[in-house]
Each structure stands twice: as C-alpha cells, then as structure tokens.
Copies of this chain bind each other. A is one copy, B any other.
C-alpha cells in the first residue's frame, strides 16, 4: 500500500520539521530538498525514511547543531578549507558545492574541503547543483569514524560505505548523475530487503570464509559482511576497496575529519569534498559536446530492443519529472511515520 503525496506538500512538510527543530528556514528548505530527492528519484534508502530514523535523532541528541554556521578556516581562492561545525550535512554539503561553483566560475576549478559535517544524504543531489551552472560537480563523503565493511582479506570492519557522486550536464537530456556507495550496495538496501523479507542477490554479502550469504538479516546479526564493489578479489574487490580509500583520502584525510580506520566510532565529524570544474572557462564548445556524448550513450544499440541503454541519472531524472507532476508515492508505514512528526501532512486527492 502506498500513499501519494504531492511533491510541494512533501517538501513543505519536511522543511517545516527541520525549521521547528531550529534550522534557519532557507537552510531547512535546502535540507528538505536534499532529503526528498531520494523519494523523488527512487533512491528511497536515502529519502524521508531517514528523517525519523537518522536526522531527528541527530538533532534531538545534540550531535547535530541546527543553527551552526560553516566556518571557513583557509581560503586560497580556488581552494577552501572549512569546518561545518556539526550543522545539518543535508545543508552544508549543498553549501559547499555552491561555494565551489562560485570559485570555479572565477578560477576554472573550485574545491571545498569540509570537516565536522553530519550525514549529507544523497551525494548526487549535491553534485547535481553544479549542473545548474553548466559545470561538472564531484561530491564524496566518508562516514566519519564509522566502520562498516572490512578490507579484502580482513576480519574487522575498517571503512564506511563512502559514497562518491559525479554530475555533468547532458544537453537537453537528464544530467548524468553517478551516485554510488563504494561497497556493492549501501547498507540501506540490505536493511530494506531484511524488512521486506526478501533474499539479496549473491555478491552483496559474504560470511567470514568468503561464501555468499543471501539472507540480509545476517548482516545486522554480524554473520555477514558487506562486500566492496567488485565482489571477490579476483573480480576487483581491491578496486572497490581502493575506491573506498580514495573517498576516505579526498573527503576526510585532506580536510582532517574523523577517519574510519583511525579510532573508529560513530558517524560524527564526517568529511566532505566538493569539487567543481567550469569547463567553459577552459575551452568553448563543452555544452554541445556534453549533449552529443550522452545522446550517443542513449543511442547505443541495446541487447534487448525493449530495454534501451541509459546512463546513471537518466532513470532518476525520469522518475523525478513524473513525481514532481503527479506526486511522490510513499509506503503507508512511512507516510504514517511522517505524520507522526508532522501532523499537518495530507496525502493527495
């Protein structure tokens, strides 16, 4: 059973919830858009399901400071180092991209290196803000001190799921938005399968001997570990783990945020990198070439004529367009959960 909520209603509701907790209204609206982006695009593991599960407990416990300002600690022009000071990551990551885009407009490239952040939601939402300026945006974040997946050949969790996103204009098509955990899947997809009583495909989880596990509830029982992109060592597990470390380096080691392998602990003091490139400052013709590149991907011959080839971000763009017009479907349980924190919420019709 799903309940359909008009997108403006959902956005206003979540904005109100954040504002009620002391988040300044303009920031509350950005944070709400970041959170609702998950439901709008179908990345439901990072949508409003996380409001009651993740963000309100962060605010209510004081681990997140709703009204804190980001403090710039070093400013070299193209490159800024800042402390997010426990402000809402859903907002600070967007702020970091906007600042990086402003610097890229002047210097061709802009880097904002952020420590002290809290959970940023969908990295792709933030990266895609660069596309509004005709620019390329890269956003990555570690999980603070939180350890989730062990290295290949390791016994103990060492790093988080360390998301990485890149967004690029694609002419008049939906922008290219790659938004990925560096593990095979993020933990949210394992837990969603556990809640729904579904098995997960071979290749997501393994036991200590490396044998595949398809029961998702084994993960939270500590009987299965999440695999890195690439799966087994002979099919590229070291690359997925290496990408997890790449994110740890760029997003957390560079700014001096908490590091999963050093100390460990909760997902506090998260590091974020926002890197924006302004290609039109470097050469003319970028916009047209970008359109031709992604048009060519969409025109690539499919194996099954009923399933056209698409690029990351295309389906999410289609879903978002439809749901902006026709409403966002929420599972009834989630709708009720949302009404519990925002009693004024009403479904469509």
Contact = CB atoms under 8 A, between A and B. Distances in A.
Interface of A: 73-74, 76-79, 81, 107-109, 111, 113, 136, 150-156, 158, 166, 168, 176, 178, 180, 184-185, 201-204, 208, 210, 229-232, 234-236, 238-243, 245-246, 248-250, 253-256, 259, 261-262, 277, 279, 281-283, 285-286, 289-290, 292-293, 296-297, 300-304, 307-309, 311-312
A309 B256 contact: no
A306 to B, nearest CB: 10
A89 to B, nearest CB: 20
A243 B178 CA distance: 8
Q: What is the total number of copies of this protein in its complex? A: 2
A246 B290 contact: no
Contact of A253 (B168, B185, B250): B168
B235 A254 contact: no
Residue from A210, A238, A262, A282 having most chain B Cβ neighbours under 10 A: A282
B309 A245 contact: no
A229 B107 CA distance: 34
A293 B249 CA distance: 9
B230 A253 contact: no
B79 A109 contact: yes
Given A283-B73, A307-B153, A234 B178 contact: no
A77 B103 CA distance: 12
Nearest to A247: B166
9 contacts: A76-B281, A79-B107, A153-B308, A158-B309, A230-B230, A249-B293, A253-B286, A261-B300, A262-B296
A12 to B, nearest CB: 33
A156 B300 contact: yes
A176 B151 CA distance: 14
Nearest to A313: B242
Contact of A236 (B77, B229, B246, B285): B229
Nearest to A284: B256
A125 to B, nearest CB: 16
Given A245-B178, A309-B154, A234 B300 contact: no
A214 to B, nearest CB: 12
B78 A303 contact: no
Contacts of A304: 153
Contact of A249 (B176, B229, B285): B176
B249 A184 contact: no
A183 to B, nearest CB: 9
A168 B261 contact: no
Nearest to A307: B153
Contact of A309 (B153, B286, B293): B153
A158 B300 CA distance: 7
A311 B237 CA distance: 11
A293 B260 CA distance: 9
A231 B242 contact: no
A308 to B, nearest CB: 8
A155 B229 contact: no
Contacts of A312: 238-239, 241-242, 245
